[in-house]
């Protein structure tokens, strides 16, 4: 089956919500499924994996590139956030992406915009403590993107595990008709989780940032050897991260899945070990699911 919205070899760039609605309606009317990868651009291999997954799942792949102002607070890196649309477009096309949704902030948030989306129990913890604007902004923009793109599947990287859980809960709560798919973290050769923000690090900071993945491996090994005490696991992880002089820990926590409640005492079922650690200007995230039944399984 074909749709005139997706016949060209180069990706079609859509720049307004109204046009995105029309294109999505046309694709659905042709009986085709839509796989959606929302991003803020500056694509790396992790994003390309998400595009590959979307392509596997659906007939038409739509990538959004939108640096969403509402998920940044005034003192954060919105202006400095790395951008390179032409490079992103070429990379996305090489992965078979048919449509790039690249709206302007004005078309997304015109004067008079009001609607907020919040899930307080999940957005005020972990990254939400130091970045209170972040997840309400993410939930708001994802709701808008999902409404315009009308995807059957939306693919998210699990490096932002809290984001994945927040979006999944929002989709459930608001009866949105799509499936949220999580893809395991994509790592550099030395184990550092890929992130658009890795470019902010100096070479010395970049070298030391490997402690994050090393600390995760130490926790996984301890659990495999029978350790179940949450406090001892956290001490092990924090202690290893502290061996890197450049590391400035924002949080290292163990939380329940999917509700993100605090976990104390013995861990008995799969839990999230999550961390945010600053290395100079880069605030890096990493995580793992401890006591996971199937290693590397999509959540």
Residue positions annotated with a catalytic role = 47
Q: Is 138 in the site for ligand PAF (CB under 6 A)?
A: yes
Measured CA to CA, the distance from residue 134 to residue 177 in angstroms comes to 24
| Part of the chain binding ligand PAF (CB under 6 A), chosen from 33-41, 83-91, 108-116, 254-262 | 33-41
The beta strands (E) that lie in 44-202 are given as 60-65, 99-101, 153-157, 179-183
Tokens of 265: 């005492």
Q: Is 103 in the site for ligand PAF (CB under 6 A)?
A: no
Measured CA to CA, the distance from residue 289 to residue 293 in angstroms comes to 9
Helix (H) / strand (E) element for 247: namely strand 247-256
Q: Pattern 41-80, binding to ligand PAF, x per CB under 6 A? A: ---------------------------x--x---------
Q: Is 38 in the site for ligand PAF (CB under 6 A)?
A: yes
What's the min distance (Å) between Cβ of 281 and ligand PAF? 18
Q: CB neighbours (10 Å) of residue 19?
A: 16
Phi, psi for 173 (deg, rounded to 5): -60, -40
Instruction: Please pick, from the candidates 108, 141, 148, 180, the single residue that binds ligand PAF as defined by CB under 6 A.
Output: 141
Smaller CB separation from ligand PAF, 103 or 209: 103
Instruction: Please pick, from the candidates 20, 35, 39, 152, the single residue that binds ligand PAF as defined by CB under 6 A.
Output: 39
Instruction: Please pick, from the candidates 160, 205, 220, 253, the single residue that binds ligand PAF as defined by CB under 6 A.
Output: 160
What's the min distance (Å) between Cβ of 138 and ligand PAF? 5
How many Cα neighbours within 13 Å face the side chain of 97?
30
Tokens of 220: 């996984």
Smaller CB separation from ligand PAF, 183 or 211: 183
**Cis (ω within 30 of 0) for the bond into 131?**
no
Q: Is 40 in the site for ligand PAF (CB under 6 A)?
A: yes
Kindly report the length of the chain: 299
Binding site for ligand PAF (CB under 6 A): 38-40, 68, 71, 138, 141-142, 160, 163
């Amino acid at each position: 089956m074909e749709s005139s919205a997706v016949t060209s070899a180069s990706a079609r760039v859509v720049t307004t919500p109204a046009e995105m609605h029309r294109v999505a309606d046309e694709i659905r009317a042709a009986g085709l499924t839509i796989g959606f990868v929302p991003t803020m651009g500056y694509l790396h291999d992790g994003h390309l994996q998400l595009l590959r997954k979307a392509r596997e799942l659906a007939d038409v792949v739509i990538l959004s590139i939108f640096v969403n102002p509402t998920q940044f607070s005034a003192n954060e890196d919105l202006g400095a956030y790395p951008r390179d649309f032409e490079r992103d477009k070429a990379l996305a096309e090489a992965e078979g992406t048919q449509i790039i949704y690249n709206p302007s902030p004005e078309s997304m948030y015109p004067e008079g915009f009001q609607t907020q989306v919040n899930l307080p129990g999940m957005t005020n913890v972990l990254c939400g403590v130091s970045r209170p604007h972040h997840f309400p902004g993410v939930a708001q923009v994802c709701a808008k993107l999902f409404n315009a793109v009308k995807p059957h599947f939306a693919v998210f990287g699990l490096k932002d595990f809290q984001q994945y859980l927040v979006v999944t809960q929002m989709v459930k709560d608001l009866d949105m008709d799509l499936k949220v798919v999580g893809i395991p973290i994509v790592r550099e050769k030395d184990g550092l989780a890929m992130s658009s923000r890795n470019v902010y690090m100096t070479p010395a900071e970049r070298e030391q940032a490997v402690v994050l993945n090393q600390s995760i491996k130490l926790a996984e090994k301890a659990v495999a050897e029978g350790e179940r005490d949450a406090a001892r696991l956290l001490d092990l992880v924090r202690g290893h991260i502290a061996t890197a002089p450049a590391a400035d820990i924002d949080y290292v926590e163990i939380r329940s899945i999917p509700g993100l409640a605090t976990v104390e005492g013995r861990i008995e079922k799969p839990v999230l070990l999550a961390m945010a650690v600053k290395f100079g200007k880069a605030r890096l995230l990493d995580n793992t699911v401890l006591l996971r039944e199937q290693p590397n399984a999509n959540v």
